[in-house]
Amino acid sequence: MSVWDGLVGQEPAIAELQCAVVDPQAMTHAWLFTGPPGSGRSNLARAFAAALQCEQGGCGTCHACTTVRSGTHPDVTVVATEGVNILIDAVRPLVELAQRSPSEGRWRVILVEDADRLVEKTSNVLLKALEEPAARTVWMLCAPSPQDVLVTLRSRSRAVALRVPPVEAVVDLLVARDGIDREVAEVAARAAQSHVGIARRLARDPEARRRRSDVLQVAARIRGVGDAVLAAGDLVATAQADAKAATEERDAAERAALLRTLGAEGATTIPPAVRAQVRQLEEDQKRRATRAQRDVLDRAMLDLLSLYRDVLVVQLGADVSLVNLDHDATVRELAAASTPEQTLRRMDAINQARTRLEGNVAPLLAVEAMAIALRPQG
Number of other residues whose CB lies within 10 A of the CB of residue 67: 18
DSSP state of 73: -
Q: Is the pLDDT of residue 120 over 90?
A: no
Domain assignment present for 215 = no
Q: Which residue type is seen at 269? A: T
Contact 324, 215 (CB under 8 A): no
Same domain, 240 and 361: yes
Other beta carbons less than 10 A from residue 330's beta carbon = 18
Give residues with Cβ within 8 angstroms of 234, minimum separation 6: 218
- The answer as to whether 216 is a domain residue is no
Q: What is the DSSP string of 227-284?
A: HHHHHHHHHHHHHHHHHHHHHHHHHHHHHHHHHHHTT-TT-SS--GGGHHHHHHHHHH
Interval 144-157 mean pLDDT: 89
pLDDT exceeds 70 at position 72: yes
| pTM recorded for the entire structure | 0.72
Q: Other C-beta atoms within 10 Å of 76: how many?
A: 26
Answer for the pair 314, 332: CB distance below 8 angstroms, yes or no: yes
Q: What does the pLDDT average to over 110-138?
A: 85
Residues 17 and 157 in one domain: yes
Query: Long-range CB contacts (< 8 A, 24+ apart) of 265-271?
Result: none
Last residue within a domain, chosen from 110, 134, 161: 161
Can you say how many angstroms the Cα of residue 283 is from the centroid of all Cα atoms in its chain?
22
Residue 128 confidence (pLDDT): 79
Residue 51: pLDDT over 80: yes
Query: How would residue 83 be classed by pLDDT, with cut points 50, 70 and 90?
Result: low
| 41/96 same-domain check | yes
Q: Are residues 366 and 268 in the same domain?
A: yes
d(CA 342, CA 195): 28
Tally the domains of the chain: 3
> What SS3 class is residue 160?
strand
Q: Give the residue from 192, 193, 216 showing the smallest Cα distance to 204.
A: 192
59 and 177 in a common domain: no
Highest mean pLDDT: which range of 126-135, 205-214, 360-369: 360-369
Encoded amino acid at 125, one letter: V
Do residues 140 and 43 share a domain? Answer: yes
Check pLDDT > 80 for residue 271: no
Is 3 contained in some domain? no
pLDDT for the residue 353? 95
220 within domain boundaries = no
Segments in the chain forming alpha helices (H): 11-22, 41-53, 63-70, 88-97, 120-131, 151-154, 167-178, 182-191, 196-204, 206-221, 225-261, 275-316, 328-336, 340-358, 363-373
**323 inside domain:** yes
**Whole-angstrom distance, CA of residue 299 vs CA of residue 309:** 15
Instruction: Look at residue 177 in the predicted model and tell me its pLDDT.
Output: 86
Task: Give the pLDDT confidence score for residue 289 in this predicted structure.
Answer: 79
For residues 41 and 173, membership in a common domain is answered with: no
Angstrom CA distances, 51 to 54, 107, 109, stand at: 5, 10, 11
Q: Specify the pLDDT at position 129.
A: 81
Q: Residue 46 sits in a domain of what CATH number?
A: 3.40.50.300
Could you tell me how far CA 282 lies from the centroid of its own chain? 23
Whether residues 94 and 194 fall in one domain:
no
196 and 291 assigned to the same domain: no
- Gap between the Cα atoms of 107 and 105, Å rounded: 6
Cα(58)–Cα(11) distance, integer angstroms: 15
**pLDDT score of 261 more than 90:** no
Considering the domain architecture, whether residues 123 and 77 belong to the same structural domain is answered as yes
Range of the domain at 180: 167-204
Please report the pLDDT score of residue 82 as a whole number. Answer: 64
Does residue 96 sit within a domain? Answer: yes
Q: How far is CA 138 from CA 76, 103, 104, 327, in A?
A: 10, 14, 15, 46
Give a yes or no: residue 275 inside a domain: yes
Tell me which long-range contacts 253-259 makes (C-beta under 8 A, separation of at least 24): 254/281, 254/285, 255/281, 255/282
The yes-or-no verdict on residue 38 having pLDDT over 80 is no
CA distance 202 to 210: 9
Higher pLDDT, residue 287 or 328? 328
- Tell me the pLDDT band of 378, cut-offs 50, 70 and 90: low
Least confident of 55-69, 272-286, 321-335: 272-286
Instruction: Answer for the pair 228, 372: CB distance below 8 angstroms, yes or no.
Output: yes
C-alpha closest to that of 76 among 34, 32, 108: 108
Q: Give the Cα separation of 93 and 287 in Å (integer).
A: 21
Please check whether residues 124 and 231 belong to one and the same domain.
no
- Asked if the structure places residue 219 within a domain, the reply is no
Is residue 184 located within the same domain as residue 244?
no
Contacts of 192 (CB under 8 A, 6+ apart): 38, 170, 198, 199, 202
Give per-residue burial for 230-265: e unless 16+ CB within 10 Å, then b.
ebbebbbebbbebbeebbeeebeebeeebbeeeebe
Q: What is the pLDDT of residues 165-180, one digit of tens each?
A: 889 989 998 998 889 9
Question: What's the pLDDT tens digit per position in 319-350?
Answer: 998 999 889 999 999 999 999 999 999 999 99
Close Cβ partners of 203 (under 8 Å, ≥ 6 residues apart) = 174, 178, 180, 184, 185, 188, 189
